[in-house]
Amino acid sequence: MKNTHILFIVLLLFTFSGCKDTEDTQVNPDINDSIPVEVQFSVDQHNILKNDVPFQVRGVVYVPGYPGYMPWDTEVNTDLPLKLKNSITFDLYNIKEMGANTVRFWGAPQYCYEVVKSMEDFYFLQTIWIQVDAPDFQDEGFKIGTKIYIRQVIDRIYDVFPNNDPPIVAFLVGNELSEASINATDAAHPEINHYAGNYIVTDSTLTATEAFLAEMADYVKTYEFDNYGNTSLVSYSNDIRTAYILDVPFLDFRSHNAYSYAVPYYLPNTPLGSTTGTIFQGWIEELKAMYPEKPLLITETGLSVSPNATHEGPPNYGYGGNTEAEQAEGILQNLNDIDLAPQPLAGVCIHEYLDAWWKFSLEDSYSQDPDDIEEWFGIVKLIEDGDWYTTTNRPIYDELKNIWSLQR
């Protein structure tokens, strides 16, 4: 849109003025003037492709979990207060202004898609949230409930795009399913070793959990095509704890959440990286070597600046306890490790845009607990301002902007 930069300046003025009068004035893009996004995403051996050209994901995880608003409630709310809508608008434009070309959503209300629709050359990954600790992923009732949720998410997206042209890179069906639930499901159903659907047909080497993910991914593709004529890419976000007990070769590309502090804790014998010498790069190389035939996307990496955790510093920076300067240094090191890996990766998503005060209940969401490491991963921090909140960029925001602006 021609008015993108004008809108961003308006949003900056709105934010720096302290977000006053948000009850009366909505900073809202004109979605009726948006330009239809006509792109097709596919893959080759190493890349996600946009219209057959490599598309390097420069992404940020975004959950609009402002204090007093829990994501699972906000997601289904079609009557958000103006102050929250204004903040969401600013956040998404601020993410793009940083140089990101992709936002990773989960728990996103419909308004998030309305804002994305107003933006040019900006895309999203959509997480389908699956209960990670379900006792049995193959339970029929659980699968029915998961499919209902899949339909709700897909319909919510397409309600905003009547031309059936959402700028979606892929659906991520599930995120970090628990090891205990994976093992319990697999033990309970040794007879389930394959899946055959409309779009996904596997061999007979699957576990029951893998077959569940194949079924859900196939359902995403089937429902989307039957109702909207599209078949988006589908992946699953795995992590280091389950990397060797869960595999998804039947999906369009591999996705992993990868954190530098987790590698020495869970897999301390990982060989060091071949070019930078870090154990994080060594893990990235190991992941890519596991999946040489398909793209590998890092769907999360980041560092927490929680003040009360043990301070470790470089090279792995620890789970919490980092200074804001160390957060910036560590994330830039992670990006360098990814960029200099011998085999190319499909990109990365930084976890995450906002500090997640909401992680430990609604009551807890009104304050940021210095002991809760998960509440401090933001590349921006929330600042209380009267009866609402503004945001302030941490140093990593400008560092990412400096790097990503050169890659546009």
Count of CA atoms in the C-beta half-sphere (13 A) of 216: 33
Report CA 347 to chain centroid distance, whole Å: 12
d(CA 172, CA 399): 28
Name beta bridge partners: 297: 255, 347
Determine the pLDDT at residue 39.
84
Share of the chain above pLDDT 90, in %: 88
Share of the chain above pLDDT 70, in %: 91
Name beta bridge partners: 105: 62, 126
Contact of 229 with 205, CB cutoff 8 Å: no
Determine the pLDDT at residue 193.
98
How do beta strands 48-50 and 41-43 pair?
antiparallel
Determine the pLDDT at residue 28.
54
Contact of 274 with 285, CB cutoff 8 Å: yes
What is the rounded average pLDDT for all residues in the chain? 92
Task: Kindly tell me if the per-residue pLDDT of 353 is higher than 70.
Answer: yes
Determine the pLDDT at residue 24.
47
* Nearest alpha-carbon partner for 342 in 56, 42, 46: 46
Determine the pLDDT at residue 37.
44
Task: Kindly tell me if the per-residue pLDDT of 141 is higher than 60.
Answer: yes
Q: Is 226 exposed, middle or buried (0-12, 13-18, 19+ CB in 10 A)?
A: exposed
Segment 314-348, tens digit of pLDDT? 999 999 999 999 999 999 999 999 999 999 999 99
Q: Rounding to the nearest 10 degrees, give the CA dihedral for residues 151, 172, 211, 206.
A: 170
Phi, psi of 392 (to 5 degrees): -130, 135
Phi, psi of 121 (to 5 degrees): 55, 45
CATH class of 1-108+258-408: alpha beta
Task: Kindly tell me if the per-residue pLDDT of 103 is higher than 80.
Answer: yes
Task: Kindly tell me if the per-residue pLDDT of 298 is higher than 70.
Answer: yes
Structural domain spans, the chain: 1-108+258-408, 129-168+176-249
d(CA 360, CA 267): 28
Q: Is 236 exposed, middle or buried (0-12, 13-18, 19+ CB in 10 A)?
A: buried
Determine the straight-line distance between the first and last CA of the chain, rounded to whole angstroms: 17
For residues 7-27, average pLDDT = 40
Contact of 319 with 307, CB cutoff 8 Å: no
pTM for the structure as a whole: 0.91
